[in-house]
Chain A
Amino acid sequence: MGIRFILLVNKQGQTRLAQYYEYLTLEQRRALEGEIVRKCLARTEQQCSFVEHRNYKVVYRRYASLFFLVGVDNDENELAILEFIHLLVETMDRHFGNVCELDIMFHLEKAHFMLEEMVMNGCIVETSKQNILTPIQLMDKAS
């Protein structure tokens, strides 16, 4: 399956963006986010970027106040996911220009559109920033 979910959580543990590629009820999502966030936020910079949780792994990366957490299957290539997070951040950066938590809060739908272009059903579809951003730029023009 590959990627199971992508979470953006700030330092205070508030979820800023959540995209699940397997169905969980809201209750389950809340529980899962709580557990994972607690685990990941407690870790130091010197520790590795992978956390094992239940029967999958969380690959995470911190950018300033924002944590990007990606839940993947156990046999997924962890470093590839780690760099995928960075690609996502760079893509957002290119669009928003120096992206910060507020950009994502107030342009949540755009963050989702980008993710939608990059990941589908847990698989990476597109890694060219240009291709990812074209539809969004088109939309901006249209409105």
Chain B
Amino acid sequence: MAMSGMRGLSVFISDIRNCQNKEQERLRVDKELGNIRNRFKNEKVGYIVTSCMLNENHDFLRLIINCVRNDIIGRNETFQCLALTMVGNIGGREFAESLAPDVQKLLISSSCRPLVRKKAALCLLRLYRKNPDVVNVDGWSDRMTQLLDERDLGVLTAVMSLLVALVSKNYDAYWGCLPKCVRILERLSRNQDIPQDYMYYGIPSPWLQVKTMRALQYFPTIEDPNIRRSLFEVLQRILMGTDIVKNVNKNNASHAVLFEALALVMHLDAEKEMMSQCVALLGKFIAVREPNIRYLGLENMTRMLMVIDVQDIIKKHQAQIITSLKDPDISIRRRALDLLYGMCDVTNAKDIVEELLQYLSTADFAMCEELALKAAILAEKFAPDLSWYVDVILQLIDKAGDFVSDDIWYRVVQFVTNNDDLQPYAAVKAREYLDKPALHETMVKVSAYILGEYSHLLARRPGCSPKEIFSVLHEKLPTVSISTIAILLSTYAKILMHTQPPDPELQDHIWAIFNKYESCIDAEIQQRAVEYFTLSKKGVALMDILAEMPKFPERQSALIKKAEDTEIDTAEQSAIKLRAQQQQHTSNALVVTDQRPANRSLPVKVPSINNNAEANTADRGLTEVNGTLSRVDPQSATPSADLLSDLLGPLAIEGPPSAAAPDDQNLISGLEGVSNSSDALALAPLEEQSNSVQPIGNIAERFRALCLKDSGVLYEDPYIQIGVKAEWQAHHGRLVLFLGNKNTSPLVSVQALILPPSHLKMELSLVPETIPPRAQVQCPLEVVNLRPSRDVAVLDFSYKFGTIMVNVKLRLPAVLNKFLQPISVAAEEFFPQWRSLSGPPLKLQEVVRGVKPLSLPEMANLFNSFQLMVTPGLDPNPNNLVASTTFYSESTRAMLCLIRVETDPSDRTQLRMTVASGDPLLTFELKEFIKEQLVSIPTPSPMPALAPPQVQPTIPATGATDPGAILAGLL
């Protein structure tokens, strides 16, 4: 009998294989479906074969949709199950389109047996997950809530999987399910009404418990105190009541539940008491011998780091974690590495990185690359001082050169180039490594590059004369590859240039080498040799061209990007990832810029193979929301390629083009062709660079947005981000400017000057002259409003980055409407006031034309957004708006303002506006202010109205329509 089943299956497979074309295949499948109907058992085989062998895109699945549908809506329970299972395993879009409503019906049908309904639940899950747009789940929250009342645990298990998928997409619609889930958990944990068959080693269905707790993790909080209490009781019981027992299976099952409970507690976060229990438990787990528990302890501790701030407690276990880093089991070592990476901050970076370096010498191949990358990232992120960073990277290259990707050494070169103080130190270190007997080629590259640039800084030290440096480098040349030879040639050229007065012997030697490589088979080497030879013959002219490389533009660490790139997404968004995103959003609501302490600046970056998906997206969320730190200039779009061209570009030359005298033009023409394409940056003259700093985002738009809200970004460019957060109280205001340096090198000569209009008294606290790398400085600014005015305060801000001088003038959002407070005025108050303020100058009326056409509700919104509170129904005419507000200033104190706008429904571009208040100046200014808002048309082009160079050209342009101006132009 069993054999016949097997035969049916294999016959079917071989028949399908032998089919010549689609038609035959179809016939064969139809025949099989016919067989299926004839023989119960073979139907099962047919369906299983279809499930196992085909994928959802297979053409002939389309052909059997109808048969399947008939089975699903038919009466035969067995066929229903088979069809549902098949669709549940491989159903694609067409199945979703034609079957989803039927499956939904089956799931909630009261006449179906649990057997069918649990399959329907998972079948629906498949269809929904594959094509969420096709399956209509509107209104399903009530049905899901009902389904969770189910007593049958099989159906419940299936429904819970469906619920997890639904809440992971949109938890908001399923709040009703939350209490039900808690009740299910209670039922399970108290062992109420659980059939014996669902008890697994005395534990009521651990799988359902786990699934239910997983579903709960998608809800951000539990508001209802009663439900919350019930849930915490259950969790408490799980946390306290799970003991280690002898039976392995029971132990595993109870710990599966325990770990899920831990995850849920971490997520719900609040009760600190339970959190410390969790940390204590995890601390215990990472010290046990049982490998599974230790593995999970390490894994969950890493997860805990992402969710809440427990770094200090976890640090206590550092020694224990380091022990696990040396475990014979690679799975455990990986977890330990991830955890160490996650828990690293400025305080323990030195210890951890040194531990990693030490481990690197004994680590096995499978882990070396990850280890090297992580050590490099940590060293970069948390370096207490940059010389330590250089030490670490050089050690890394020394110990595991094979696993150090080019990105790692490019990065250290960038740091050295951008930090003048670091250059002599790096040069000394590079020189020291060159004395080692066996040197990794990457080390030759770094040393050659650094010594080429900075060896002249060491000139007086023993063993560091140009000649000695040249000869120690030249020793390596016979053993290295082409790409390294290219770097060595550049280094020779630079050494030659730095040898003043020229040393004829050295010069001859180097020229001989250039001569030799002029006939090299590699075009790049050949070109370098020819060019360097010709250039070096030029003598002094060489000086300008081979000067030090300019500073690199700041860019996102290619390493971190690389770590992110290894990520692959998973089908479902995990609860942790979701949680991390939610946290980012809340933090953004409070503060405009990234204010996390440096050690948490990239809180969830754990670029191991497995945690990547979460970490990366969460991190991207962070950069998008806060727009700091790693968001960088457009050049970083292709960092590694770009980086490469900078470092390995044909010529490391710099300086104004004028340096090349006319007669040099011919000589260099060949090289210019190359340089222009690949190395524009290195060639750009300095003057141009100072203009090249482009603000990120539209300054005018940022200002407009800040007029309406109290926190946000005022200005951003590749180097700095200026955020503003403001509080307003009557006629006082307190703004805080957040100056964030986005680079790894300091911003210097920082100056902020406030140019206040006469009506504002403004006091800016001291702005430091230097902003350290990646730091953020807060500068409070006190504002007092003296009298009504529409004038705007300007912040004159400048800083220097390397040789680039940036100066911007920014309008500050301390505008008239910030001193308004909406007030609602009842009819019986309004009219007497309105009448008592009779005529100019206290009450002014004006017909405004050229108004942005707005519907009345839109206009009311606009008014409300400026704190002018619209009172509907006060004016009997429905086309009119009446608004009221209180204005605060030192001269007027609190003063009521009343506004009436009469619109013309037939012509929305004009209206009549009447403004009244107890102060003539206020009335006038407020009227003008509102007018500006009504007629202001957002300019499509970026409008840095305050940047003088751009303003000037617009004057003749606008004057073109003015006869007087034309005349002036002619004269």
Contacts and interface: CB of A to CB of B under 8 A. Distances in A.
Interface of A: 1-2, 19-21, 23, 43, 46-52, 54-57, 73-75, 77-80, 82-84, 86-87, 106-110, 112-113, 116, 120-121, 123-131, 135, 139-140, 142-143
B197 A128 contact: yes
B158 A123 contact: yes
Given A48-B291, A107-B2, A55 B198 contact: no
A71 B568 CA distance: 16
A50 B292 contact: yes
A120 B122 contact: yes
Interface in B17-57: 40-41, 44-45, 48, 51-52, 55-56
Interface of B: 1-2, 5-6, 9, 40-41, 44-45, 48, 51-52, 55-56, 78, 81, 85, 88-90, 115, 118-119, 122-123, 125-126, 129, 153-154, 157-158, 161, 195, 197-198, 200, 205-208, 210-211, 214, 249, 252-253, 255-256, 259-260, 291-292, 294-296, 328-329, 331-332, 334, 567-568, 570-572, 574-576, 609-613
23 contacts: A1-B129, A46-B328, A46-B329, A47-B328, A47-B331, A47-B332, A51-B331, A52-B334, A75-B574, A77-B260, A79-B259, A86-B249, A106-B2, A107-B2, A109-B2, A109-B6, A109-B45, A120-B88, A123-B122, A124-B157, A124-B211, A128-B153, A143-B41
Nearest to A45: B291
Nearest to A123: B161
Contacts of A124: 157, 161, 207, 211
B249 A55 contact: no
Nearest to B130: A121
Given A112-B48, A143-B1, A57 B40 contact: no
B575 to A, nearest CB: 7
Given A74-B574, A86-B252, A127-B153, 11 more contacts: A19-B52, A51-B331, A77-B214, A77-B260, A78-B296, A108-B6, A109-B2, A120-B88, A120-B123, A123-B125, A139-B44
Contacts of A78: 256, 292, 295-296
B253 A79 contact: yes
B292 A79 contact: yes
Given A50-B295, A116-B85, A79 B40 contact: no
Interface of A is mostly: mixed
Nearest to A75: B574
A137 B942 CA distance: 76
Contact of A55 (B153, B206, B613): B613
B99 to A, nearest CB: 14
B89 A80 contact: no
A56 B571 CA distance: 12
B610 A48 contact: no
Given A48-B329, A120-B122, A121-B126, A75 B85 contact: no
A98 to B, nearest CB: 17
B161 A2 contact: yes
B154 A74 contact: no
Contacts of B575: 75
Contact of B259 (A77, A83, A120): A77
A43 B295 CA distance: 15
Contacts of B334: 52
Contact of A125 (B90, B122, B200, B253): B122
B295 A48 contact: yes
Contact of A128 (B44, B119, B195, B249): B195
Contacts of A21: 89
Contacts of A130: 197
B256 A77 contact: yes
Contact of A127 (B1, B200, B294): B200
Q: Which of A21, A46, A51, A109 has the most C-beta atoms of chain B within 10 angstroms of its own C-beta?
A: A109
Contact of B200 (A1, A73, A82, A83): A83
A128 B154 CA distance: 8
Contacts of B88: 120-121
Q: Which of A21, A46, A128 has the most C-beta atoms of chain B within 10 angstroms of its own C-beta?
A: A128
Contacts of B576: 75
B625 to A, nearest CB: 23
B765 to A, nearest CB: 47
A19 B329 CA distance: 28
Contact of B296 (A52, A56, A79, A84): A79
A62 B259 CA distance: 23
B45 A120 contact: no
A86 B201 CA distance: 11
Q: Which of A19, A21, A48 has the most C-beta atoms of chain B within 10 angstroms of its own C-beta?
A: A48
Given A23-B56, A79-B252, A79-B292, A127 B609 contact: no
A82 B253 CA distance: 8
Given A48-B295, A83-B206, A121-B126, A57 B610 contact: yes
A48 to B, nearest CB: 4
Given A1-B571, A127-B207, A128-B198, A139 B40 contact: yes
B33 to A, nearest CB: 18
A106 B9 CA distance: 13
Given A126-B157, A130-B197, A73 B570 contact: yes
B205 A83 contact: no
B41 A127 contact: no
B154 A125 contact: yes
A82 B294 CA distance: 15
Q: Which of B5, B41, B334 has the most C-beta atoms of chain A within 10 angstroms of its own C-beta?
A: B5
A128 B155 CA distance: 11
Given A52-B610, A80-B206, A109-B5, A120 B89 contact: yes
Contacts of A113: 44, 48
Contact of B609 (A23, A43, A55): A55
B161 A80 contact: no
Nearest first, the 3 closest Cβ-Cβ pairs linking A and B are: A79-B256, A48-B291, A23-B55
A125 B88 CA distance: 11
Contacts of A2: 161
Q: Which of B6, B88, B574 has the most C-beta atoms of chain A within 10 angstroms of its own C-beta?
A: B88
B574 A48 contact: no
Contact of B331 (A48, A116, A131, A139): A48
A50 B330 CA distance: 10
A48 B571 CA distance: 26
Contacts of A74: 570, 574, 610-611, 613
Q: Which of A2, A19, A73, A125 has the most C-beta atoms of chain B within 10 angstroms of its own C-beta?
A: A125
B877 to A, nearest CB: 61
A87 B699 CA distance: 63
A126 B114 CA distance: 11
A46 B292 CA distance: 10
Nearest to B576: A75
Contacts of B207: 80, 84, 124, 127
Contacts of A135: 78, 81
A125 B116 CA distance: 11
Contacts of B123: 120-121
B85 A83 contact: no
Contacts of A52: 331, 334, 609-610
A1 B89 contact: no
Contacts of A82: 252, 256, 292
A54 B568 CA distance: 9
B737 to A, nearest CB: 41
Contacts of B253: 79-80, 83
Contacts of A19: 52
A131 B45 contact: no
Given A2-B161, A23-B56, A87 B200 contact: yes
